[in-house]
Structure 1
Amino acid sequence: MDKSKPAYGQACTHCYKAKCRCVRTTSGGTCERCLRLGKRCQPSGSLRRRNVHTAEESDARISRLEDKMESLLSAMQSFIGSPVPNGHGISSHPTHLDELSVSTTSNMRLGEPTFAGDSSATVSPNPNPLFLSPNHPEFPHVPWPDQADERVAYFCSRMLPYFPFIHFTPDMTSGYLRQNRPCLFQAIKTVTTFSTQERQVQVEQLKRLLFTSALLDVQSNIDLLLGVLTYLAWSTDAFLGRADLVSRLMMLAMSLVYDLRLFKPSSPDVQVMMTITQGRADDNSQNPDDETPYTVLERQRAVLACFILSSNISSHLGRQDALRWTPQMEEALQVLTLNGSCPSDRLFVLQVRLQLLKQNADHVRQQDDTDSTRTATTSSASAPHLLYAKALRRQLHELGASFPPDLQQIDILKTHAQYVELYINQLAYSISRDCLALGHTVQGAKSDTVLGFQRLECLWQSVENIKTWLDVFYAIPCSKLVGQPFHFWSQMILNITLLKYLSTLQDPEWDCQAVRNTVDLVSTMDCMLQKLDQTSKEPELQCNDHLLTYLTKLLTKCRQWAEARLNMASRGMETPCQNDTTSHNHHIPDLDQIVWMQSMDLGDDQWFDSVLSMPTFS
């Protein structure tokens, strides 16, 4: 028998806790491991006897412990870090849970817990001072719900105000959400995780929860709908090559709107048919006796939010149509307009109104595309469409004049309004361009001159819209930019893309130099890069893989492209040609038909090479 190895149950305290072999030195006063680590070697307080339970009892105990361990690890992954007393940020740094889970799971499988005081355990430092690791010595016993409350509070104060489609009451704490709104709770945890790598862990948990609720359990409830809408509103997937997920979740949200009868309650015929065929009434129908003013407004906000998101995602991805506008939705909007119980409804109502104007313009474009495939006689319907586009612009200006000057989010409304007007202007531009190309008449008279002037007017108004959007963007505080929803960043990319086209449009009647004098493409990139760099210094963005990191990469690449292209133009290497229909800047595409935006993957260098390849100088 090896005398250097103590008998079972007589290992020193440190080796026992670390589950390491305890080998005594020749002197016998200490063990080799404690001597190597410079620790004080202390024998166990008492002898440990071997487990005398039967194999079945032991297996059952181990199984229970493993189940508890899985729940603990899931909770640890959900609530990473704990706030210092004055912290206001969200942890965005990994805490090496994988390493922790391996060692801890190994110990738990043996039915022996891992002690917080085990000096052999490795505690990874957290570089973010706002949130410390659960094992941090200063906060060894901070309960998990405090972290969840911090995330919910951050979401309500720093993100939701810019797209307020949910009204949080004081009693809607993290505990309440975890118990009554698990999908919404998980979605909030996901969107308040700014590190892309860490967010993926939360996304997978959210996907499993949504899959189980929507498909396995075949549920349709307001929690499921709000969870999907919350994730879509602040999702970064469309920028990182995961447009498929965005598209499918949007379709899920739209199907839930129909399943929940948010447009109108089920008819008596539907109720009878459900009872006959399935032995029960329609579970998704709303019982008036169960409704409260809060639940009514909650559903109305949800369906209107679904309309906005479907409209934005439809334009960005080009894969599906937006949720159609109905009289019931107009009624819901009127109710929110008159309701005074929630101050944030003022902003939300205006956001819906703005998006409705944009969607009406999109409807005109789709009609014009359909007309253009018909005969020349019927295609003259483009002229009324052009007049309707002007009417939409007038309605937009009237709506903009009604913006409350005391609204804290007035800058967000202004950027949204400039985007909508940009969309309407580009609609009018495409209609007038097509009319000129086909030799259409307006009110029975040939008017190439009028159409040509209108076309140029639309283009120049687009330049003014972009300039105004950028001016408002520069004035937004960095702390506000962090919590902006998906469609804000989509608008930013769209503005830059259109500015690139307007700055390099090869048309003999268009003055590119005047565009550059008004909004210089290269200097605009520099200013935006500076703004994103300042915003990246916010406490919650202290990681190297948040969304603004990828947007910075995009703007840097765009700046390189613009500088190279403009240098070529200044050296006379590009000559505008009226008949050059193959030139890639001979015309401006429709804003919701830009293919490279629909396939965007800012984390893939190959995507950048294929989309923003540098022009050659040969």
Structure 2
Amino acid sequence: MSACSERVKTCQTCARAKIRCLRTPGETVCDRCLRLNKQCYFRPARMRQAWSKKESRLESLERRVEELLGQQSHGGCSQHSDHDQSTPSTTSTAGDVIDRGVVTLGEADALLDSFRRLMMPHFPFVVVPPQMTVSELREQKPFLFLAILSVSVTRDVELQRFLDEETAAVLAKRTVTDHYHKASLETIQGILVSVAWGQHQAGAKGPKRHALRDFSNYLHLAISLVVELELDRPVELRKRCPRMTIDTISPIARPLHILQDEQRAVIGCSFLASCSSVITQKTCTFPWSSRVEAFALELSEKGEYASDQSLIHLVRLQHLFERIDHLSADPNIPTAGYTSPIGDMDAYLHLFRTMYSELQEYTAQLSPHFTDNNCAFTPLPTRYASANCRTVLLAVQLHTVNLYLCQVSLFEKDSIAQLPHSIRVDILCHGLATARSSFDAFLTIALNTERYLSYSQWLQTGFCLILSCKLALMAASDKSMRLNEPRVQALVDKLDMIRVLDTCVSRQLSQEPDRKTGFDYSGWLQWIQEWVERHYNASTSREKVSQGGIAVEHTIVPVHPQHQPTHSAAPFCTADDLGIPVSTEDYIPWPGFPDVVPSDNVLGGWMDLGVISL
């Protein structure tokens, strides 16, 4: 009977009694219930769940391969070898900022054109070919495309913030969460673009987009990818296999344009790491090396773009920058509280003269094409950039290295007073002349274009500005030196630091629209201007008091008796001699750096004017 087949084999009466239930075929009641005249009830049987067959590991892998092959054939994208072109990560272009309607294709094209004309000349380490269209860049290098859009937006705060967050999310997926995505050159290029202009990208409602911590994290991530892909090695030395592997893997030959893109990225990582570490006094994780210089030399000889010719000069100047920095860290050089013998002082003078001579000779050898700030991004056969596309990248680098030599020589050794008077005057004059030259170059930049300066230029310009203030105050504070050395007074007058600061503040205030998007340094510049004017006026007022023979208390800076140096050949004064108190009020918070308690100023050095040895 069909009804019985849909029931369980034991009735409920027998089940409760825990007795075997027997039933005569064809009967609907079991034998026991029939004999005892009891109701016989069978509970309906439960439907068994049909379990699906478990997929084996092999079947799972085969299904995954079929899906990937289907995606590639559907997208119709060309295949690229190894890591020269990244697989459209994070998936394909379907679902990017253009497909979601955040940015139109026309707006993206305008932003890419702006990046090429105004920003790329300041950063020769990532070059977008002029023949590449916005659609091609979007398809072939989606992350680099997104990074370029992110840094190119300068007016729309909300769009700027959204693109920045989108870039960070895609980068996190590529490098951390997506285990199927391989490291690629495109990811490195996108990171470099993000950090190159990250100091200016900030919304009005949030903190700085890229503080110093974020810059270091992003840059170290790019360096780790360079090491992972072995881009810092020549192609013939890229083994791509561990030492315990029996079979050797031959390096994959790559097209010339891919190899040159790799070399530019490696040079960019090394340059940013070295520049930021020297100025901020951090440990450099990617210093100069002979391989980096070899890459730059090869690009200068075989590079596709005119900007490649400047890379060798940037690398060699940065190497000299690092060597000068080693002077301040060398324990054999006279340091605070240490009276060095004459032999050590002679050794220091020899090192200084050697560095100075190398710097002057190298500057004289540079082509006027670079020293005049004319480093346009131009393909060698035809000119791509307009005549107005100029950069101060190499000029700023030259001025920074020259001024850093003065910083190490005049401010970082307490026993520097043992240097001969003529040597210290020469160093000071060299610094004043370099400061004037640096501002002549900087102030020739077209108004409202400072926003396009890269991170290294931004950092170096801030260093040059503060060190110029220190040199000007050092010269202005020593009356005897200015009277005995007319060239010092002439250079101080020519520099005219008060006017320079006033011009910088005026230029910054004139860029009102950029202030809401993070490019606002007017407060920092005004702080420096007030500091310099306060101490400069205090110095001149003491001279007037000294000439009149009347002791008058200054309202801002207390006046102390003019200190007479014990060493006849050391007329420079200290901060105490000038009546400049070392206090927390003289702390200058450089934009983009972490906010710290002034008394615990971890930056110190050139960014803290209150502790300079004037």
Settle same-fold status: TM greater than 0.5: yes
After the TM superposition, which residues 95-494 of structure 1 pair with which residues of structure 2 at under 5 Å, given as runs? 144-170=104-130, 172-195=132-155, 198-217=159-178, 219-236=182-199, 240=208, 242-264=211-233, 271-273=241-243, 275=245, 286-288=251-253, 291-321=254-284, 323-367=286-330, 372=335, 376=340, 379=344, 381-401=347-367, 403=369, 407-408=375-376, 409=390, 411-429=392-410, 436-437=416-417, 448=419, 451-478=420-447, 480-494=449-463
Give the secondary structure class of the aligned counterpart of 2:306: coil
For 2:97, the equivalent position in structure 1 comes to 75
CA distance in 1, matches of 2:140, 2:127: 15
CA shift in 2, pair 1:556/1:274, >3 Å:
farther
Give the secondary structure class of the aligned counterpart of 1:306: helix
Instruction: Indicate yes or no: 2:521 matched with 1:551.
Output: yes
Which whole-Å deviations, capped at 9, do the CAs of 1:50-92 have from their partners, x for residues lacking one?
xxxxxxxxxxxxxxxxxxxxx99973799756xxxxxxxxxxx
1:612 offset after TM fit, Å? Answer: 9.1
The one-letter code of the counterpart of 2:500 is T
CA shift in 2, pair 1:602/1:286, >3 Å:
same
Contact kept in structure 1, 2:232 and 2:292, CA below 8 Å: yes
CA distance in 2, matches of 1:466, 1:213: 44
The one-letter code of the counterpart of 1:520 is D
Which whole-Å deviations, capped at 9, do the CAs of 1:348-369 have from their partners, x for residues lacking one?
4433333333233223433357
After the TM superposition, which residues 499-578 of structure 1 pair with which residues of structure 2 at under 5 Å, given as runs? 499-505=468-474, 506=477, 510-511=481-482, 516-534=492-510, 536=511, 542-548=513-519, 550-572=520-542, 573=554, 574-575=559-560, 577=563
Contact kept in structure 2, 1:336 and 1:345, CA below 8 Å: yes
1:436 offset after TM fit, Å? Answer: 4.3
Give the secondary structure class of the aligned counterpart of 2:536: helix
User: How many pairs are equivalent?
Assistant: 451
Give the secondary structure class of the aligned counterpart of 1:472: helix
**Could you say what the CA RMSD is over the residues aligned between the two structures, in angstroms?**
4.2
Contact kept in structure 1, 2:160 and 2:201, CA below 8 Å: no
Which whole-Å deviations, capped at 9, do the CAs of 1:140-186 have from their partners, x for residues lacking one?
xxxx2222222122111110012222232245333333333233222
For 2:88, the equivalent position in structure 1 comes to none
CA shift in 2, pair 1:555/1:170, >3 Å:
closer
1:379 offset after TM fit, Å? Answer: 5.0
Unaligned stretches of 5+ in structure 1?
1-70, 82-143, 440-447, 590-594
1:339 offset after TM fit, Å? Answer: 1.4
Mean Cα displacement is larger for which, 408-417 or 336-345?
A: 408-417
Contact kept in structure 1, 2:183 and 2:229, CA below 8 Å: yes
CA distance in 1, matches of 2:515, 2:448: 18
Contact kept in structure 2, 1:312 and 1:487, CA below 8 Å: yes
CA shift in 2, pair 1:402/1:601, >3 Å:
closer
The one-letter code of the counterpart of 2:452 is G
CA distance in 2, matches of 1:295, 1:192: 24
Give the secondary structure class of the aligned counterpart of 1:475: coil
CA distance in 1, matches of 2:577, 2:159: 39
The one-letter code of the counterpart of 1:75 is V
1:224 offset after TM fit, Å? Answer: 1.4
Contact kept in structure 1, 2:201 and 2:518, CA below 8 Å: no
Which whole-Å deviations, capped at 9, do the CAs of 1:122-152 have from their partners, x for residues lacking one?
xxxxxxxxxxxxxxxxxxxxxx222222212
Contact kept in structure 2, 1:501 and 1:585, CA below 8 Å: no
Which whole-Å deviations, capped at 9, do the CAs of 1:105-137 have from their partners, x for residues lacking one?
xxxxxxxxxxxxxxxxxxxxxxxxxxxxxxxxx
CA distance in 2, matches of 1:76, 1:410: 31
Which whole-Å deviations, capped at 9, do the CAs of 1:429-450 have from their partners, x for residues lacking one?
458x56645x5xxxxxxxx5xx
Contact kept in structure 1, 2:143 and 2:170, CA below 8 Å: yes
1:192 offset after TM fit, Å? Answer: 0.9
For 1:22, the equivalent position in structure 2 comes to none
CA shift in 2, pair 1:509/1:223, >3 Å:
farther
What is the TM-score with the length of structure 2 in the denominator?
0.63
CA shift in 2, pair 1:413/1:330, >3 Å:
closer
Give the secondary structure class of the aligned counterpart of 1:262: coil
CA shift in 2, pair 1:251/1:586, >3 Å:
farther
CA distance in 1, matches of 2:117, 2:449: 10
CA shift in 2, pair 1:525/1:328, >3 Å:
same
CA shift in 2, pair 1:410/1:158, >3 Å:
closer
CA distance in 1, matches of 2:446, 2:295: 33
1:332 offset after TM fit, Å? Answer: 1.0
The one-letter code of the counterpart of 2:190 is G
1:474 offset after TM fit, Å? Answer: 1.8
Which whole-Å deviations, capped at 9, do the CAs of 1:17-71 have from their partners, x for residues lacking one?
xxxxxxxxxxxxxxxxxxxxxxxxxxxxxxxxxxxxxxxxxxxxxxxxxxxxxx9
Contact kept in structure 1, 2:125 and 2:268, CA below 8 Å: yes
CA shift in 2, pair 1:416/1:319, >3 Å:
closer
CA distance in 1, matches of 2:455, 2:364: 26
For 2:63, the equivalent position in structure 1 comes to none
For 1:445, the equivalent position in structure 2 comes to none
Give the share of equivalent positions with the same residue, in percent.
20
CA shift in 2, pair 1:357/1:269, >3 Å:
closer
What is the TM-score with the length of structure 1 in the denominator?
0.62
Give the secondary structure class of the aligned counterpart of 1:471: helix
Mean Cα displacement is larger for which, 150-159 or 364-373?
A: 364-373
Contact kept in structure 1, 2:436 and 2:495, CA below 8 Å: yes
The one-letter code of the counterpart of 1:327 is S
CA shift in 2, pair 1:287/1:77, >3 Å:
closer
Contact kept in structure 2, 1:314 and 1:321, CA below 8 Å: yes
Which whole-Å deviations, capped at 9, do the CAs of 1:462-492 have from their partners, x for residues lacking one?
1111111111122222264332212222222
Specify the structure having the higher radius of gyration (Cα): 2
CA distance in 2, matches of 1:78, 1:309: 34
After the TM superposition, which residues 57-68 of structure 1 pair with which residues of structure 2 at under 5 Å, given as runs? none
CA shift in 2, pair 1:225/1:499, >3 Å:
same
CA shift in 2, pair 1:307/1:395, >3 Å:
farther
